[in-house]
Structure 1
């Protein structure tokens, strides 16, 4: 695989690092935000969920924008929005202001989570598309881990108004992301669809890839009615449901609310330090999945991961229900759950939704799927604090155990293998 391909795919994936950082950094600020703004449980849920809510319109408009203006320009806009969101959140003096800038951050994440996987899939050789596509997820989990490390160090060495530094820390990597994006080329497949075949072939040459047989377009962009036309309806619905149920695994309740969960258990060490360990586990097993995805395939990873996650949520539910929390089984179950997610749904999600759609509807169809993902994320983020408070830990985790068990059936019935298949060959399926 040519080094230039790895380099530009890595730059595009940096949006994922900021995505992971911005979504997870709030975990270390919950107590401070509650005290500073005198938040109720509902208001705390809104602060946490605001980013996910902002992701919904971001994901919805991303495909159309990427089809009209190109993948690169939308990623540049994303970087600027990350800067604005970090500065605004860190300087917020009122609850409403904080929620607004968290929404802006969500808008950026919605754009990045749609466009970056599309871009990477369109520049990647078929045999390594899984690994290159996974750079997005690798960047996300790295961003999550960096946010946990940042929170831990800021809380330790700068305890006064530490939440401001935690939320504002993303400014520097956002600026770096913007500057590096200036150096990457536009997606050659998008150029071809825009009728700019000569430019597309020149970029494929730089990538060291033989130009695929893409029918050059005239600049037409897919509409929602085309995406749901009878010919493509099945793959669109599969992509939408697949992306949505990835959030119903419950992974983000672990990352967003890990300190709250650990405070309800009675194991040693600070909640922030234990949260930091979850980030390390996530990164280690994402790296393992990076090695597996183009060898084992997408579908097998999803089936095994769903079984592991269902079992871990069942164990957590039983431990909380019986109040058997004076041991390390809570930590062990959470760590194993994260490992199962990192090697399956975490590894496959952003690769799969960017590769299953035909070239000329990929932007819009991916937007539809990722919008479903963030809608489900917002629902989970907003309801979990209430569920944990009203239902307590046992029933809450058992609900998620049942959801994960249901995903085994969904994957077995509807997900098809795409390992090593060129994008244009996948398109022939539909």
Structure 2
């Protein structure tokens, strides 16, 4: 694999870094926002969920727009929206303004979560697609960790102009720097060669493939993709993804993407300070949150060595099993009020490690690789729309569940969901390890 392929995949994945930063940065700002705007539990849920709600239209429409205007142009628009939300969230003068800017940021996140996996899957050689696709997840994890470190640093800075009253503004505005970097680095990225072939731009597509493969392999790749696209000469419409030919794989994709949120991973990252406030060990709450980000990063790196060797399906099965038991243990510790020890922290870290090396590693790779070339943009967009819809529900309801039915019942519920996911994976998830994109259709047609 050429270094150029790694470079352009890495730049595309930077949208994921901002995705991770913007979704996680709110964790450190919640306490300051609660005091500044006098928020109740429902308000907290709304300001956290606003980004997730914005992700829904961002994910839903970005695939179709990317199919029409190209992957690169839509990634540039994503970078612009990140800049807007960074500045706007930092200067918001009212709770309503903050929610609006968080929504705009969510649109950008929804777009990035759709576009980067599509782009990377379309430039990656089959034997490296899992690892290159994981660059999106690695970038998300780095973004989350950077957000946690940034929050911790801003909360403990000695600068007189950063106070307990306004530090949340600096936390939310900090994404401006990586947003600008993402925008300017996109100049290095070519358009997706598969999108170019879809739009009859064969000369440009061959130039891009030549920089990814050797000359003969590039010519062969162009012909393979061209032949795959020419299987159907009719004009494609969005409703065609629900045709008899594609319906099964689209349903598998959207359910898979949605239940990835029902693992409960984002209740850990969005609300880590609220959870750790109920425990009584391990130093400051923000420092404990930084540790969760470090664990997430370490086990995401471990997943690099596993995803193209072990395969997607086995990782998902192991992850659901471990995460399910961790949720039950956390619920039991809250039920017994045994929070004055390190076991609850260790269990949270094990849960995060299991997610990072399994579901977190597989999610963004799988949803972009299982769909045929002809429907990839539309279908990936629709699947990730399901992911963010579930995310919005989880992030909004968690503080309400925590206050209403209590921590034990809340975590027990997520434990049951995780174990139930084993059945779905066993029956419907098909292995894609090492399979060229143009041959994956053969795999899903054999799923019972």
Q: TM-score range by the shorter chain?
A: over 0.9
Decide whether the 8 Å contact of 1:121 with 1:133 is kept in 2. yes
Shift of 1:427: 2.6
Distance 1:56 1:247 in 2: 13
Tell me, in whole angstroms, the C-alpha distance in 2 between the residues paired with 1:203 and 1:32: 48
Q: Does 1:188 align with 2:193?
A: yes
Alpha-carbon distance in structure 1 between the residues aligned to 2:321 and 2:54: 31
Q: Take 2:120 and 2:340, find their aligned partners in 1: how far apart are those partners? A: 45
SS, match of residue 249 in structure 1:
coil
1:192 touches 1:214 (CA, 8 Å); kept in 2? yes
Aligned to 2:65: 65
Task: Write the mapping of 1:271-282 to structure 2, written as runs, cut at 5 A.
Answer: 271-282=285-296
Aligned to 2:9: 9
CA contact (8 A) 1:66 1:115 kept: yes
CA root-mean-square deviation: 1.3
Q: Please give the alpha-carbon distance, in whole angstroms, between the structure 2 residues aligned to 1:396 and 1:36.
A: 28
What SS does the corresponding residue of 1:295 show, helix, strand or coil?
Answer: coil
Q: Secondary structure at the match of 2:188?
A: coil
- 2:245 aligned counterpart, secondary structure: coil
Shift of 1:406: 0.5
Counterpart of 1:174 in structure 2 is 179
Q: Where do 5+ consecutive residues of structure 1 fail to align? A: none
- Relative to structure 2, which stretch is displaced further, 378-387 or 318-327? 318-327
Give 2:139's aligned residue: 139
Q: Of residues 191, 213, 218 in structure 2, which corresponds to 1:208?
A: 213
Structure 1 residue 223 displacement after superposition: 2.5
1:267 positional shift: 1.2
Partner residue of 2:308 out of 273, 294, 317: 294
- CA deviation map 1:340-397 (0-9, x unaligned): 0001110000000000000010000001100000000000000000001111110000
Map 1:90-109 onto structure 2 (within 5 A).
Answer: 90-109=90-109
Match of 1:243 in 2: 257
Mapping for residues 255-266 of structure 1, pairs under 5 Å: 255-266=269-280
Distance 2:163 2:262 in 1: 35
Q: Is the 8 A contact 1:223 1:364 kept in 2?
A: no
Q: Residue 325 of structure 1 corresponds to which residue in structure 2?
A: 339
Question: Post-superposition, which runs of at least 4 consecutive aligned residues in structure 1 deviate over 4 A?
Answer: 216-221
Unaligned runs of 5+ in 2: none
| Structure 2 CA distance for partners of 1:125 and 1:52, relative to 1, 3 Å | same
Supply the distance in 2 between the matched residues of 1:410 and 1:156 (Cα, whole angstroms). 45
Aligned equivalents of 1:395, 1:329: Cα separation in 2: 19
Separation (CA, whole Å) in 2 of partners of 1:220 and 1:185:
28
Query: Is 153-162 or 121-130 further displaced after alignment?
Result: 153-162
Give the Cα separation in 2 of the matches to 1:410 and 1:268: 37
Q: Following superposition of structure 1 onto structure 2, how do residues 47-126 of structure 1 map, counting pairs within 5 Å?
A: 47-126=47-126
Provide TM-score, normalisation by structure 2: 0.94
For 1:144-159, what aligned pairs fall within 5 Å after superposition? 144-157=144-157, 158-159=162-163
Rounded to whole Å, the distance in 2 between the matches of 1:296 and 1:361 is 28
**Contact 1:64/1:221, CA 8 A, preserved across alignment:** no
Is 1:405 aligned to residue 422 of structure 2? Answer: no
Alpha-carbon distance between aligned partners in 2 of 1:13 and 1:237, rounded to the nearest angstrom: 26
TM-score, length of structure 1 as denominator length:
0.98
1 CA distance for matches of 2:135 and 2:392? 24
